[in-house]
Amino acid sequence: MQQPRIIVVDPAGPGGLPYSRLLARLHPLELRHERFLDAALGSLARDAWDLAILAARSGPRPDTLLASLRKADPQLPVIVIDPKPEVATARACLQAETCDYLELDRAEADLESSAERLLSGSRRRAAEEVLRRAVERPYSFAGFLGESPAMREVYSLIERVAASSVDVLVTGETGTGKELVARAIHGASRRAAGPFVPVDCGAIPDALLESELFGHERGAFTGADARRMGLVEFADGGTLFLDVVGELPLPLQAKLLRVLQERRVRRVGARQENPVDVRVVAATSRPIDQMVAEGAFRRDLFYRINVVRIDLPPLRDRGDDIGLLAEFFANRAAQEMGRPVGGLSTDVYQVLAGYHWPGNVRELQNVVRRAIALTRSPAAGIDDLPDEVVAAAGRPAASDAGASGFIARRAEHVARFEKQFLTELLTRHQGDVTAAAREAKLPRGTLYRLMKGHGLDGASFRKERT
């Protein structure tokens, strides 16, 4: 809170106490004067205030006024100025930590220190709120962030799949969140209390993969000096996540298919089979349909795991999610690194939106973390981004007058449109973000982010009444 916003309710109007002068040390501040409680309540509903001063010269008793104010905004610090002090009223007012009670005779002397005390409390609360919002995810589903239609469809599929026991194939480019999907399905399923066992089919040497997956008996092969349970059995009662499934060698594909069909495993070198109860979630970023067509992946296994397919959209197709994710990663990085960086500048958002993100969310996360770690400015700027990102996305027009690339020109148009749209919208609603978001059919968080990006704030659209 830089400039405290104080609302005064005093039936005597500007002829009452000289509030501006009494609060001189707090300047600059924004002071609004209301004669009547009703008008003040209206202001409270529309705007955010840091402090209310209530002078109960006539009309209802101060504790009644206070109760009405509290109902409108339970957090708001209040100073009550009472011309006819009574112990009961004073006690009622002082019960709350965020309320001061001043007798009218003492008001001139004590108003300022009281206001300072209460404002420092609300400054602390405002800081806590910023922190809380930074940590809280704007729209999240089981660890996912993003509200684009494509991702909402993914969430809904995950929910439906989790409730059943079918095997699932997750496809999508690298870094799109395939492992996150697997974990979300497990976490939302009846198996959540059971194990989640990831197997990286590409990282384990072929020679070891069979016994890793299915286990072995003692003496099954040279070096097998003890019997060992495989990962499939390990996942009994839970979820087996076969990552990079396209790398699974063909002979093992056949054996895996048997396990999935029979729900039984035979360890290497064993005679009998053991029953297992697993759900398989497999993931690949390779074009698996094409691999099937070319014979590099068994068609029968493909049909078996492709019962339900969740295809993650590339980040570049998720529209506004890029900004949402970037902001979240920036806040988190600043907090983790203990850097006093206030996020990313507007032109950074423009560059990020124009880049094609071959490494998707993982790449975005790395780019943003790096910018937060390197920057020397209050907000990370374009110069803190890797050259290849800026070169590929095109600098925004403001800092590159000669930009003529399609993406740069489009970003420029979009930015101009956004600013005009927001200005008109906020003017229409006098800075009431909730009402504006409703009209624009945008989530409030998105609207706030857009406003922030264009340096607009609701307060400057409020019609001042004096």
Ligand X SMILES: Nc1ncnc2c1ncn2[C@@H]1O[C@H](COP(=O)(O)OP(=O)(O)OP(=O)(O)O)[C@@H](O)[C@H]1O
- By CB under 5 A, residue 247 contacts Mg ion: no
HSE of 223, CA atoms in CB hemisphere, 13 A: 3
46 touches ligand X (CB under 6 A): no
Stretch that binds ligand X, among 42-50, 88-96, 337-345, 357-365 (CB under 6 A): 357-365
Judged by CB under 6 A, which stretch of 143-151, 191-199, 203-211, 420-428 contacts ligand X?
143-151
Q: Which is nearer to Mg ion, 179 or 412 (CB)?
A: 179
Q: Is 19 in the site for ligand X (CB under 6 A)?
A: no
Cα-Cα-Cα-Cα torsion 276, 281, 283, 288, nearest 10 degrees, comes to: 80
- CB nearer to ligand X: pick between 178 and 191: 178
Residue 32, contacted partner among Mg ion, ligand X, none, CB below 5-8 A by kind: none
Among the listed ranges 231-239, 257-265, 361-369, 412-420, the one in contact with ligand X (CB under 6 A) is: 361-369
Rounded to the nearest 5°, which phi and psi values hold at 241? -100, 105
Residue 73 found at the interface with Mg ion (CB under 5 A): no
CA distance 127 to 121: 10
What is the rounded CA–CA span in Å between residue 319 and residue 149? 9
Ranges within 54-113 binding ligand X (CB under 6 A): none
> 43 by DSSP, 3-state: which?
helix
Listed ranges 67-75, 173-181, 216-224, 299-307: which one lies at the site for ligand X (CB under 6 A): 173-181
Interface residues for ligand X in 178-217 (CB under 6 A)?
178-180
Report the amino acid identity of residue 222. Answer: T
Q: Which residues between 155 and 184 bind Mg ion (CB under 5 A)?
A: 179
**Of residues 123, 362, 410, 462, which one binds ligand X by CB under 6 A?**
362
Q: Which residues in 287-326 contact ligand X (CB under 6 A)? A: 325
> Residue 319's Cα: distance from chain center in Å?
15
Using the 8-state DSSP alphabet, how is residue 191 labeled? Answer: T
176 lies in the site for ligand X, by CB under 6 A: yes
Reading the block at residue 301, the tokens are 């296994």
The helix/strand/coil state of 27 is: coil
171 vs 253 by CB, closer to Mg ion = 171
The option from ligand X, Mg ion, none interacting with 345 (CB < 5 to 8 A, set by class) reads none
Q: String of b and e for 174-206 (b: at least 16 CB within 10 Å)?
A: ebbbbebbbbbbbebbebeebebbbbebeebee
Which x/- pattern over 178-217 shows residues binding Mg ion (rule: CB under 5 A)? -x--------------------------------------
Is residue 285 part of the contact set for ligand X (CB under 6 A)? yes
Q: Which is nearer to Mg ion, 179 or 247 (CB)?
A: 179
* Residue-by-residue DSSP string for 197-225: EEEETTTS-HHHHHHHHHEE-TTSSTT--
Q: For residue 371, how many C-alpha atoms fall within 13 Å in the half-sphere facing its CB?
A: 34
Phi then psi for 243, rounded to 5 degrees? -85, 150
Nearer CB in complex with ligand X: 101/144: 144
Please report, for residues 21, 37, 334, 365, 399, the alpha-carbon distance to residue 327 in angstroms, rounded to integers and kept in the order given. Answer: 41, 39, 11, 10, 21
Between residue 221 and residue 240, which ones bind Mg ion under the rule CB under 5 A? none
Residue 354 site contact among Mg ion, ligand X, none (CB < 5 to 8 Å, cut-off depends on kind): none
DSSP 463: P
Q: How far is the CB of 145 from ligand X (least distance, A)?
A: 4
Which residues here bind Mg ion, judged by CB under 5 A? 179
Binding stretches for ligand X (CB under 6 A): 144-146, 172, 174-180, 285, 325, 361-362, 365
